Amino acid sequence: MQPYRGTVVLAIVIAIVMALSSPGARGQETSIIDLAIPGHEYGFARRVNDEGQVLLQNAIDSSSPQFASYLWSTATGPIPIEPVFGHSRILGIDLNGAGQVVGVALSLDGAAPGQISFLWSEADGAIDLGVFGSSSQPMAINELGEAAGIANVSDPGFSMPRAFRWTLSTGALDLGDLGGGRAVAVDLNDLGQVVGFSDVLPWSPGVPSDAHAVLWESDGSIVNLGKLDDVPSRALAINEIGQVTGVSQDESSQFGGFFWSAETGMLDLGTLGGPSTHPTSINNLGQVVGWSEDESSRERAFLWTRESGLTQLELPGSFFSRATAINDFGQVVGEMYLGDSVWHAFLWSEETGMVDLGVLDGPFTRSRAWAVNNAGLAVGDSSGYLPDVGWIYHPVVWEIPVPDPTPEQQIEEIVEDLTELATGGVLNEGELDALGSTLEAVTHSLERGNTIAATNLLTAFQNQIQAKVNAGILTAEEGQALIDAAAAVIP
């Protein structure tokens, strides 16, 4: 399929404007890029990977049935996800680091099947996931190209949601349930762990929910994570070390938030003084963000950690706020209400405080940030009102400052590089263990604040690498990359 490049790219990247700095911005500069397809006034950006690829949804206007999806980057511009199997309404749902997209293709002419779950990449086009049931929807894709989602299976008188995991080798497999029939999968990690919810008591439409948060292991076993305060609960997200966040929801629609790990079990996130807390995202450090109501029942963005508990983000000038995502640097994005029907996207971190990400030039008065990667990009939308058109929504990407990695994070990156070399057969298990032990000692020295010992150990690591270059185990290029990475840990 042909990428959508050339002059269209120039038309897309026509507006790079500097966002206004807030009092808490501390000199941080950001920029905003309009990703709207020319002639399309309704669109969103909800996913971005660390390679800088953005998953877009665009339509001519809010009433248009011809909703299209694109994969965008500064290098390629918008690459359309072509009509899949003759279905012209394409909804991309999730994106991984390899640029693979999962989503659904919908028929607008009544053709059967009316909805197809697909996996798409620019190189290979679309693959029908072949999910069982009358209809299905993938909810997430991991870095291995595995997907998880929901299939609807016909039951006498109604449709029963079932959770599935899909891999290229196995196809779509039913993950099972807790006994009540209903099972819904919403996220998965690179370990193949899937989270969502399932009922213990028999479920059917109209029957009170008995949902328990669940985790399906890669071996097919199911772990009942429980119910927060004995209220129906749902797992929403899982990180790469198996930590989970989710919500409970009672009959009055009040939310409670939880954190779960195999070590701690289910922990109540608490509140900011009001009745509800709703987490939205968890990073690989186990930090959770979302929104919680204060004593005046105003929604406030929060950050939760096991060490500090639930903390309100300081967003000067805002009346309401919601955090939507957090990356592994602890950078948080979301939206805040500034009064007079004005909502702005924000960026927050402990180092910078709050940064107002601003809106597009022209009629735009609102913006929302939905996701943030580890490579200096956040995505969302900016909206405004045109008298003859109504509300318009343009997908946007913000360029944001990238924090310097900590020494511990740099060590982790070196370990990942060594693991890749071992996976590729360059290093054997003993060589990997020996190098890993040296780096582990570096980390322990850093934790104790002993930089002299850490520096000496890093020098020892560099000597180990040079010895493997001299022995022909590593190429000069492979060795120099590792030596340079070690030298950068403690400049």
The percent of residues above 70 in pLDDT, for the chain, comes to 92
Confidence category of residue 26, pLDDT binned at 50, 70, 90: very low
H or E segment and range at residue 158? strand 158-167
More confident residue, 156 or 304: 304
Find all residues with CB under 8 Å of 434, minimum gap 6, and list them: 464
pTM of the predicted model as reported, rounded to 2 decimal places = 0.83
Q: How does pLDDT run across 74-87, given as a tens digit for each residue? A: 999 999 998 777 78
Starting at the earlier edge strand, list the strands of the sheet with 89-95. 89-95, 101-106, 115-121, 125-128
d(C-alpha 14, C-alpha 19), whole Å: 15
With a cut of 60, say whether residue 255 has pLDDT above it. Answer: yes
CB neighbours of residue 471 within 10 Å: 8
Q: How does pLDDT run across 199-227, given as a tens digit for each residue? A: 999 998 888 889 999 999 999 999 999 99
- CA end-to-end span of the chain: 46
Query: Is 158 exposed, middle or buried (CB count within 10 Å of its CB: 0-12, 13-18, 19+)?
Result: exposed
pLDDT of 85:
78
Query: Is 17 exposed, middle or buried (CB count within 10 Å of its CB: 0-12, 13-18, 19+)?
Result: middle
With a cut of 80, say whether residue 261 has pLDDT above it. Answer: yes
Confidence category of residue 490, pLDDT binned at 50, 70, 90: confident
pLDDT of 28:
60
Q: How does pLDDT run across 65-76, given as a tens digit for each residue? A: 678 899 999 999
- Closest by alpha carbon to 183, among 112, 133, 122, 245? 133
Measured at the alpha carbon of residue 47, what is the angle toward residues 34 and 92, in degrees to the nearest 5?
100
Confidence category of residue 111, pLDDT binned at 50, 70, 90: low
Confidence category of residue 13, pLDDT binned at 50, 70, 90: very low
Domains in the chain: boundaries:
7-399, 407-487
pLDDT of 89:
85
Confidence category of residue 110, pLDDT binned at 50, 70, 90: low
pLDDT of 405:
82
The structural architecture, per CATH, of the domain 7-399 is 7 Propeller (2.130)
pLDDT of 22:
33
Residue 376 in tokens: 């200096």
- Closest by alpha carbon to 91, among 120, 134, 53, 122? 120
pLDDT of 4:
21
d(C-alpha 338, C-alpha 344), whole Å: 7
With a cut of 80, say whether residue 25 has pLDDT above it. Answer: no
Q: How does pLDDT run across 230-243, given as a tens digit for each residue? A: 999 999 999 999 99
**Alpha-carbon 344 to chain mean position:** 20
With a cut of 80, say whether residue 228 has pLDDT above it. Answer: yes
DSSP 422-472: HHTTSS-HHHHHHHHHHHHHHHHHHHTT-HHHHHHHHHHHHHHHHHHHHTT
Q: How does pLDDT run across 382-420, given as a tens digit for each residue? A: 999 999 889 999 999 999 998 888 898 899 999 999 999
d(C-alpha 263, C-alpha 402), whole Å: 32
Confidence category of residue 38, pLDDT binned at 50, 70, 90: confident
d(C-alpha 126, C-alpha 18), whole Å: 38
One-letter amino acid of 323: A
75-84, 305-314, 360-369: range with lowest mean pLDDT? 75-84
Confidence category of residue 254, pLDDT binned at 50, 70, 90: confident
Query: Is 58 exposed, middle or buried (CB count within 10 Å of its CB: 0-12, 13-18, 19+)?
Result: buried
The residue count for the chain: 491
Rounded mean pLDDT, 89-111: 88
With a cut of 50, say whether residue 317 has pLDDT above it. Answer: yes
How many Cα atoms occupy the beta-carbon half-sphere of 329 within 13 Å? 23
More confident residue, 7 or 385: 385
Collapsed DSSP state (helix, strand, coil) of residue 230: helix
Which residue bears the tokens 């009316």?
114
* C-beta separation of 396 from 379 below 8 A: yes
**In degrees rounded to 5, what are phi and psi of residue 287?**
-85, 135
Which residue bears the tokens 């993950």?
175
- Closest by alpha carbon to 187, among 245, 133, 232? 245
pLDDT of 24:
34
